[in-house]
């Protein structure tokens, strides 16, 4: 037994037999799998939740390259894991891996939460509901009330957010992606959620300054679901000139606190928040999926904020 858990577990060490997750005290029962994964703050609040609930396991970061993803997930199940979070770039691969996925995960094209139960691998996506809970917490607004523009809507969390907004009956949905064909395909897929509602709709627009400025004048909430803002020196994901007083801006990026987009939005008089609340709420929903019990949200929030 070892009391020392590495900050990041290389998948190769586990697959080669060099490392067994059951050898730690307490054993690893949950993990986040990604490439990269060292930046993830999920262990802070999930380990706090496990301790609070008296669950004798711990949550780890596992680094797996794409070609090792399926093998890594299978090994984690064999070594006694209860569940996993899946992050970039594995969410689409996770949907193909699981035995069962709900309608939201299938429409989103991705899975960010895996549960191993009764010999089956069950996939869920908590990104969309976690986003909605974050918007309600940060801005006091329900998704169904809003006209929403999603930057980076072509896949991953951006697609999950777009799908959830449509399924929740948002007033209008504008999808933006560098590859417009991707956002156009998603808009076409989601059109049925709007076709029976007068005066609302979903559309795809190009990612250029003039188009975004025109759309911002007619939406209530702009969401950055792209990776812009994760790297030092990144510009704001949206031009300052496109933002206005009263606009709500939510950046799903949370690395380094307030992102360039959040700073620029507040400078323009908009309401803005980074992605910490979404991280928290999607994590709490994952916890509830794994253990079929209410997550200790306040405990998780305190742990996350104390490690930010």
Along the chain (308 residues), what's the average pLDDT of each consecutive run of 10 residues?
Answer: 85 94 95 96 98 98 98 97 96 97 94 97 97 98 97 92 96 95 94 78 93 94 92 88 95 86 96 97 98 98 94
Distance between start and end Cα atoms, the chain = 30
Is 18 designated active site?
no
**What integer pLDDT is reported at residue 250 of this predicted model?**
98
Distance of alpha carbon 30 from alpha carbon 259, whole angstroms: 29
Residue linked to tokens 């703050």? 41
- Phi/psi at 24 (5° precision): -85, 160
Active-site option among 41, 91, 182, 271 = 91
**What integer pLDDT is reported at residue 198 of this predicted model?**
59
* pTM, 2 dp: 0.94
Q: 246's torsion region: left (phi>0), alpha (psi -120 to 50) or beta?
A: left
**What integer pLDDT is reported at residue 257 of this predicted model?**
75
* Domains present along the chain, CATH in parentheses: 9-125 (3.40.50.10860), 128-277 (3.40.50.720)
**What integer pLDDT is reported at residue 230 of this predicted model?**
82
Give CA separation, 180 vs 152, 186, 187, 190, 202, in Å: 10, 10, 10, 15, 14
């Amino acid at each position: 037994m070892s009391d020392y858990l590495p900050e990041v577990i290389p998948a190769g060490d586990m697959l080669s037999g060099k490392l067994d997750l059951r050898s730690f005290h307490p054993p690893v029962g949950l993990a986040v799998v990604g490439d990269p994964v060292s930046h993830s703050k999920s262990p802070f609040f999930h380990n706090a939740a496990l301790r609070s609930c008296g669950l004798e396991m711990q949550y780890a970061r596992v680094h797996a390259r794409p070609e090792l993803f399926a093998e890594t997930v299978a090994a984690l199940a064999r070594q006694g894991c209860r569940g996993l979070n899946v992050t970039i770039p594995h969410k689409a691969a996770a949907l193909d891996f699981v035995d069962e996925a709900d309608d939201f995960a299938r429409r989103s094209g991705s899975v960010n939460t895996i549960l191993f139960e009764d010999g089956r691998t069950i996939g869920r996506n908590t990104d969309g509901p976690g986003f909605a809970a974050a918007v309600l917490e940060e801005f006091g607004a329900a998704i169904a009330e809003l006209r929403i523009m999603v930057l980076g809507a072509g896949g991953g969390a951006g697609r999950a957010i777009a799908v959830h907004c449509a399924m929740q009956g948002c007033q209008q949905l504008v999808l933006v992606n560098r590859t417009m064909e991707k956002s156009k395909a998603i808009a076409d897929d989601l059109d049925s959620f709007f076709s029976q509602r007068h005066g609302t709709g979903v559309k795809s627009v190009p990612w250029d300054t003039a188009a975004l400025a025109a759309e911002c004048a007619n939406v209530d909430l702009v969401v950055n679901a792209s990776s812009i803002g994760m790297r030092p020196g990144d510009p704001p994901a949206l031009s300052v000139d496109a933002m206005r007083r009263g606009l709500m801006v939510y950046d799903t990026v949370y690395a380094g606190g307030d992102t360039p987009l959040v700073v620029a939005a507040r400078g323009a008089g908009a309401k803005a928040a980074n992605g910490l609340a979404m991280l928290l709420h999607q994590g709490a929903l994952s916890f509830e999926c794994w253990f079929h019990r209410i997550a200790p949200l306040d405990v998780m929030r305190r742990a996350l904020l104390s490690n930010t």
